[in-house]
Amino acid sequence: MGNIAMLHATSPSPLTADKDIIRRSQQGDQAAFELLVRKFERRVFGLIYQMVRSPSEVEDIAQEVFTKLYFSLPQFRLEASFEAWLYRITVNQCYDFLRKRKREAQVAQADLTEEEMRFFESFGSITQKPTLDISKRLELRQTAERLLSALPPKDRSLLVLKEVEELSIEELTAIFKASASAIKLRLFRARNHLKSVYEKGRKKNKGRARL
C-alpha cells in the first residue's frame, strides 16, 4: 500500500482534530497532549520524511515539532485549523534542518529509463499502478527523489503537501499564510521547475539512445 493510502487509512481526516483534546492540552493536561501527539505522530513523521529523506533524522525533528507545539499551543485559537498550525510548525522545522544541512546543494541529475518516463507521463496516478513490483517501485522512487532534490525546500514542501498529503489550495493558504492566487503561482513555478529538471533527464536519455 502506498504511503498516502496508508496514511489515510490509519490517521484521522485532516479536519477532525478533536477540539476538546486541544483545549485540555492548552490547559496543561499532559494526558490530553499525549493523545494529541499519538493522533498526529504518523502524519508528522510522514511529512518530515518526505521533506528531509533521512530516516535517522525523522524522530529528532518530530520531537522538536511536538515540543514547539506544546509551548505554542496556548497561542492557538480554537476556531483556526489545528492541522494547518501543526503543518506550519513541521514545515518550518524541516526548513531549519535543511538550512543547516544544505542538502539542496547536492543536486544529482536523474537518469531516466524509458519505463520510468512512461510511468511519470501516464495519465493516472502513479500510486494506483498495479503492475509495479517492489524493485520497480524502489527504482522509480529513487529516480523521483533525484529529480525532486533539484527543488528548493519551499517548493518541495508545497508540492509534497499538495500531492502527497493531498491538501487543498485553501488549506495551503492557511499553512503558508498566503492568498490562493499566490499559492497557485508558487505551485505553477514549482511544477515548471520540476518539469524542466525532468526534461533535462529526458533529453539525456534520448541522447544516450541515439548513441
Site residues (vs another protein, CB under 8 A) = 2-4, 6, 30, 33-34, 37-38, 41-42, 45-46, 48-50, 55, 58-59, 62-64, 66-67, 70-71, 119-123, 125-127, 132, 137-138, 140-141, 143-145, 147-148, 159-160, 163-164, 168-169, 181, 184, 187-188, 190-192, 194-195, 198
Q: How far is the CB of 208 from another protein (least distance, A)?
A: 20
What letter would DSSP give residue 192? H
Nearer to another protein, 88 or 184 (CB): 184
Q: How far is the CB of 184 from another protein (least distance, A)?
A: 6
Q: How far is the CB of 120 from another protein (least distance, A)?
A: 5
Q: How far is the CB of 196 from another protein (least distance, A)?
A: 10
Nearer to another protein, 18 or 41 (CB): 41
Count of all residues that appear for the chain in the document: 211
| Whole-number Å distance between alpha carbons of 152 and 175 | 18
Torsion, CA 195, CA 201, CA 204, CA 205, rounded to 10: -110
| Whole-number Å distance between alpha carbons of 109 and 56 | 24
| Whole-number Å distance between alpha carbons of 42 and 48 | 10
Nearer to another protein, 4 or 174 (CB): 4
Q: How far is the CB of 211 from another protein (least distance, A)?
A: 25
Task: Report CA-CA distances (Å) from 198 to 127, 191, 209, 211.
Answer: 19, 10, 17, 20
Residue 81, amino acid: S
The x, y and z cell numbers of residue 84, run together, are: 494547518
Nearer to another protein, 86 or 160 (CB): 160
The x, y and z cell numbers of residue 144, run together, are: 523521483
The x, y and z cell numbers of residue 138, run together, are: 524502489
Nearer to another protein, 133 or 211 (CB): 133
